[in-house]
Structure 1
């Protein structure tokens, strides 16, 4: 034994490395039966798999150029991060975009910009930008709602996002006077920290389901009564990531907290089917909307990705005939989103937002219904220039999901579906979540929304308007490529949006249905604490 010990001490360090590599090679050649590469190229094959594992990170930070990545390129992410930190979000030396590429948008500025008169609300508050339309006013709901911000958080549920991410977004929405859509995972405690809430449910009816998984009006009414911050209700028909496809929430992911919030059993797989069980057909949907509005008094809307148009025509016809219908319609782009989905769905199902929205809007425009509906856009619209395009086409407000996630720390690692999100935003892993400082991230979310609104307002004024709702289809040109050259949106999509009944920003500020809590004390306290801690530039 002593001789063996002496022999071990004599072996140099490189000898141990060589011995280890020999053992690995023996294992790869004679024992490994699963990997052809490792069998044919022992030892070296492991280097290949290691490089493949870090490939996305290498491409993201080293290989890809500033405008190359998808779904969000480096310039887009940098603008969100800088805006959220309230840092300089400008760029120098001109654009690096290919301005001659197809689908490039050009915004037509006015020769003389809009000039704010003395006492204009935006002189004192350059961030105030409320919706020009009121949800539920036309249909005479008991509790109409005017969103205090034209940009809000889209449907992302507790479960897909972590508790700390949800709470950061909710507190940020309170500071920015935006609303927070719950997503279909139910109303969690993390959605109740201050902001207005749009309660969203899908085919699983999580949070408002009975013991058999069916929709419960009684539970919905109780939820609304106990939570006055719920200002509107959204019924999800489909989403851009996977329209027409249900899902399964594995029992292993259902904690006691999630089970209580979603009203599901602990430890059992829960099915979210592709179809609703609470109604049948478009006629049933319209009755369902009216029943919910009558029971709760709140504005009720729908969310859907866009494909076939037949049912949209049927819905518009029913609205003309009955004088009733959804108070708002959220159109989701087929670009995909935070929801995990098969590539075939994310890549090919449903129209991109620009095309889908135009097709739906034209139907309601032809029936003279657009003045009755608040149109919500959702699909990579969280940048001021794309928002201008959306408002020009007829959107009244926009919802953002992935952009909001980046504001609270998402780095586009694209691990949302693996529960391994390194930033702690899209994971239920407790250790990874701990990295999220809620006070810090909530202020960053609030600055992203406020700086977005400020820049959108500046672009609006540059085009000669007071509010984005005044944009028309002739204010934005679209590059079509080849010999089509450049055409206005009205020429490209063959319609003009319905004029919005907007008078002045001052009127919006005085509206009795205006949401948002303009609590300056809360905002100042958050900013003061963050200044002390991180010395972030404000």
Structure 2
């Protein structure tokens, strides 16, 4: 009797295992071949990208949007030919940006630098010692080291330096990978990583020590995030390496789950005391980041800030439709308002108190595409933060494996083998190219609207189509009053002067 070959023996063993295991019905019924179903399912998102979907079907970023980001990052042709393939007629809520025929502004020379600073001085209205005007309206949003790989963080930070943009550390603390020369926004989350006591409480001395020799320009207190509003951050055990555990002050190899809420403050009054304590100790502008649910908090915050004695320097509004973070499906799908609902809801509250102009407003949530960014500016944003779009610029293929630690492109993983695919020397340039292209297209849209800066766009500049073929202005759709959503007259005058002065 001939001996079974090794492949045949392996096949027989697999068949036997499949027939007698009780976890998977398909494998018990269809031994061996049933594994093909799981193999195809495991690469479903990748297959749909190339075989099933059209240019505008896939979410969160469709093929056209990804193509624009990829081409921009690689300095390839990011134009599109033969007209739009979007369904415009009969699409409810489709935005139309309205051009102007004539302009009192001088013609803007074409520039490859796409100089586009913030229309407001961050921390200026509250007189912070280290107030400054951000040199880019498009900046890199909060993505922690741990959630992203070391070379991904290095690529983003060096890219931010090349583009003159800010790079948010995310709640995971400040690592050596964040020190490639890019200016930083230091984020304080509920876990207080990098600024905590051994017991996990907030420590001001630890914060001062962490940022002492770093290029931190401003501090963001994360109240909640769009991926999972109302829950703390989650870093799966597979991503908690020895280095990350040391930076965060946690145990290696275990899930890192931040508390749902802060322990350093518990209401608006103590939050503002916390903000002012940090601002006084550091001299830096201090703001908050939050998704938007119940509006009681925002009413209370605006009321507490109305007299001008205490206040946040900026507010980052995060859309509640998910992000790079690992999150329960119900939270990504249903918890908190999407950005273009959330931003006007909060803006109205602060405009009614007459203090919106004293705050720098930052919009986050798929704002890394020119049309969506302009919509955010028209609704009152002064800057936009980009997260997943920046990941796409450095090689992400939207495989939607961020939560598993098995990102195939090495962007959102701690696997040494997988992260080899990210070369910071190359990817940092692509980050900068993408940010520059985003600013350049925003300048083009500004020129079409005959305004000096996208922050000067208003809700009157956008019409919203209805499914029945009629339309309304964005102003009417969201209920803004005249003058809402744009900077003060002083800021408008100053940014117009800056935009038309020699750089």
TM-score normalized with structure 2 length: 0.93
Tell me what 1:107 maps to: 97
Tell me what 1:201 maps to: 188
Q: Report the CA distance between 1:189 and its aligned residue.
A: 1.0
Cα distance in structure 2, aligned partners of 1:27 and 1:259: 38
Paired positions, count: 496
Tell me what 2:37 maps to: 48
Kept after mapping to 2: 8 A contact 1:132/1:508: no
Cα distance in structure 2, aligned partners of 1:449 and 1:248: 28
Tell me what 2:197 maps to: 210
Cα distance in structure 1, aligned partners of 2:173 and 2:449: 41
SS of aligned partner of 2:460? coil
Q: Report the CA distance between 1:378 and its aligned residue.
A: 0.2
Kept after mapping to 1: 8 A contact 2:378/2:485: no
Residues 142-153 of structure 1 aligned to structure 2 (within 5 Å): 142-153=129-140
Cα distance in structure 1, aligned partners of 2:51 and 2:485: 46
Tell me what 2:324 maps to: 338
1:495 aligns with 2:480: yes
SS of aligned partner of 2:145? coil
Q: Name structure 2 gaps, 5 residues minimum.
A: none
Of 343, 346, 350, the match for 1:364: 350
Cα distance in structure 2, aligned partners of 1:116 and 1:263: 55
Q: Report the CA distance between 1:264 and its aligned residue.
A: 3.3
Tell me what 2:207 maps to: 220
SS of aligned partner of 1:321? coil
Q: Report the CA distance between 1:262 and its aligned residue.
A: 1.9
Cα distance in structure 2, aligned partners of 1:205 and 1:199: 11
Cα distance in structure 1, aligned partners of 2:236 and 2:47: 32
Deviations 1:308-348 (A, max 9, x none): 00110010001113432100000000110001000011110
Kept after mapping to 1: 8 A contact 2:238/2:414: no
SS of aligned partner of 1:226? coil
Tell me what 1:185 maps to: 172
Of 104, 114, 118, the match for 1:127: 114
Tell me what 1:452 maps to: 438
SS of aligned partner of 2:275? helix
Range with greater deviation from structure 2 (35-44 or 182-191): 35-44
Tell me what 2:363 maps to: 377
Alignment CA distance shift 1:252-1:432 (3 Å): closer
Cα distance in structure 1, aligned partners of 2:38 and 2:430: 37
Deviations 1:116-140 (A, max 9, x none): 35xx6x5556510000001110101
Alignment CA distance shift 1:22-1:113 (3 Å): farther
SS of aligned partner of 2:492? coil
Cα distance in structure 2, aligned partners of 1:437 and 1:21: 40
Q: Report the CA distance between 1:502 and its aligned residue.
A: 1.6
Kept after mapping to 2: 8 A contact 1:130/1:149: yes
1:413 aligns with 2:409: no
Q: Report the CA distance between 1:487 and its aligned residue.
A: 1.0
Kept after mapping to 2: 8 A contact 1:115/1:461: no
SS of aligned partner of 2:480? coil
Cα distance in structure 2, aligned partners of 1:125 and 1:115: 20
Tell me what 1:533 maps to: none
Range with greater deviation from structure 2 (122-131 or 415-424): 122-131
Deviations 1:376-407 (A, max 9, x none): 00011111111111111100000000000000
Tell me what 1:514 maps to: none
Residues 219-238 of structure 1 aligned to structure 2 (within 5 Å): 219-227=206-214, 229-238=215-224
Of 238, 258, 264, the match for 1:272: 258
Kept after mapping to 1: 8 A contact 2:239/2:413: no
1:294 aligns with 2:280: yes
Of 41, 63, 66, the match for 1:77: 66
Range with greater deviation from structure 2 (473-482 or 339-348): 473-482
Q: Report the CA distance between 1:113 and its aligned residue.
A: 5.2
Q: Report the CA distance between 1:278 and its aligned residue.
A: 0.4
Kept after mapping to 2: 8 A contact 1:224/1:296: no
Of 244, 249, 262, the match for 1:258: 244
- Report which of the two structures shows the higher radius of gyration computed on alpha carbons: 1
Deviations 1:131-185 (A, max 9, x none): 0001110101101021100100000000000010000000001010000000000
SS of aligned partner of 1:502? helix
Q: Report the CA distance between 1:465 and its aligned residue.
A: 1.0
Cα distance in structure 1, aligned partners of 2:365 and 2:237: 31
Cα distance in structure 1, aligned partners of 2:209 and 2:417: 35
Deviations 1:278-319 (A, max 9, x none): 012111101111111111100000000001001100100011
Alignment CA distance shift 1:498-1:344 (3 Å): closer
Q: Report the CA distance between 1:453 and its aligned residue.
A: 0.6
Kept after mapping to 1: 8 A contact 2:344/2:478: yes
1:66 aligns with 2:55: yes
Range with greater deviation from structure 2 (360-369 or 472-481): 472-481
What's the C-alpha RMSD, in Å, of the aligned pairs?
A: 2.3
Q: Report the CA distance between 1:204 and its aligned residue.
A: 0.2
Tell me what 1:161 maps to: 148
Kept after mapping to 2: 8 A contact 1:208/1:263: no
Cα distance in structure 2, aligned partners of 1:273 and 1:253: 18
TM-score normalized with structure 1 length: 0.87
Of 380, 383, 387, the match for 1:401: 387
Q: Name structure 1 gaps, 5 residues minimum.
A: 512-517, 519-538
Cα distance in structure 2, aligned partners of 1:348 and 1:73: 21
Q: Report the CA distance between 1:210 and its aligned residue.
A: 1.0
Q: Report the CA distance between 1:466 and its aligned residue.
A: 1.2
Tell me what 1:526 maps to: none
